[in-house]
Chain A
Amino acid sequence: MTTAWYITAAITLVSTLMVITRHYPVHALLYLNVSLISLALLFYLMGAHFAALLQIIIYAGAIMVLFIFVIMLLNLGQETATQEKRWLKPKVWIGPCLLALILLVQFTYSLSLSKGETYINNVVEPKAVALSLFQSYMIGVQLAALLLMAAVVGAAHIGRHKRTNVHRFLQHKPDES
């Protein structure tokens, strides 16, 4: 089981690295999908079965479909890829990568200070998750519902196109009034 965990972690890391280095948006999206599914397998191996299911259904299923629709609507293809190839020069990405690497080294150092190896071997049942979610975290569920509704209304408002009036008397010009 430990070997499976390390193999899946390696797949996650490699596919996530491929996401931020690809030129084509569709290729990056496919690698992100692989990364999400391997993360779901990691969740399953760590005993969080319900979270693994949610990861596959919502992330790899629903959110990825949203991204694919945007790629289709905007027709991001060869043109974007050549543009990305022009933008992604070592002069551009070497600085941010170095800074992020410094942060990672600090994080690794603070992890190495922890004493003792403790292994994860607890399976958390979905029943316990549901009981905790709908008893002690009830207010959080309601706030999440509020957030989702605000997001739907906001997306519908932002994504709306301005309708142009054809008739000249119906055109609204605020600077003349």
Chain B
Amino acid sequence: MTTASIDNVLLLAGLLFTIGVAGVMMRKNIFFMLLSVEIMLNAAGLAFIAAGSHWGQPDGQVMFIFILAMAAAEVSIGLSLILQIYHLHKSLDIDNLKEMNG
């Protein structure tokens, strides 16, 4: 089953990752930033799957499973933080968090 060359798959992963980076940088709403981080994780998973399929080894899919577990943990923590931020500030604007002085 011939699909596409490894260069094209990596190019697609790079494009997706760039869209995610741009999304994180241009949005001020923390909800959309979390969505963009998900896009970046997906791009990394795509690169892993492509490499594993290219070499015919299962390690790529194993790494994808680990990325999946990590994404689930990150989303649960991030969403509970978003809930707390909204209850404190009644807004999801990250500029309101300046008072944390981090």
Q: CB within 8 Å of B: which residues of A?
A: 1-2, 5-6, 9, 12-13, 16-17, 19-20, 25, 28-29, 32, 35-36, 39, 42-43, 45-48, 50-51, 54-55, 58-59, 62-63, 66-67, 70-71, 73-74, 76, 80, 83-84, 87-88, 92-93, 96-97, 99-101, 103-104, 107-108, 111-112, 114, 117-124, 128-129, 131-133, 137, 140, 144, 147-148, 150-152, 154-156, 158-159, 161
Contacts and interface: CB of A to CB of B under 8 A. Distances in A.
A111 to B, nearest CB: 5
A93 B7 contact: no
Given A47-B53, A108-B14, A132-B62, A114 B7 contact: yes
A130 B80 CA distance: 32
A147 B53 CA distance: 27
Contacts, number: 240
Contact of A12 (B16, B36, B53): B16
Residue among A1, A29, A50, A159 with max Cβ neighbours from chain B (10 Å): A159
27 contacts: A20-B22, A20-B23, A28-B32, A46-B9, A48-B52, A48-B61, A50-B61, A51-B65, A54-B68, A62-B72, A67-B75, A70-B31, A73-B83, A84-B32, A100-B25, A103-B18, A104-B15, A107-B11, A107-B14, A114-B7, A120-B4, A122-B55, A132-B58, A144-B66, A147-B70, A151-B74, A155-B80
A96 B20 CA distance: 11
Contacts of B29: 25, 80, 83-84, 87
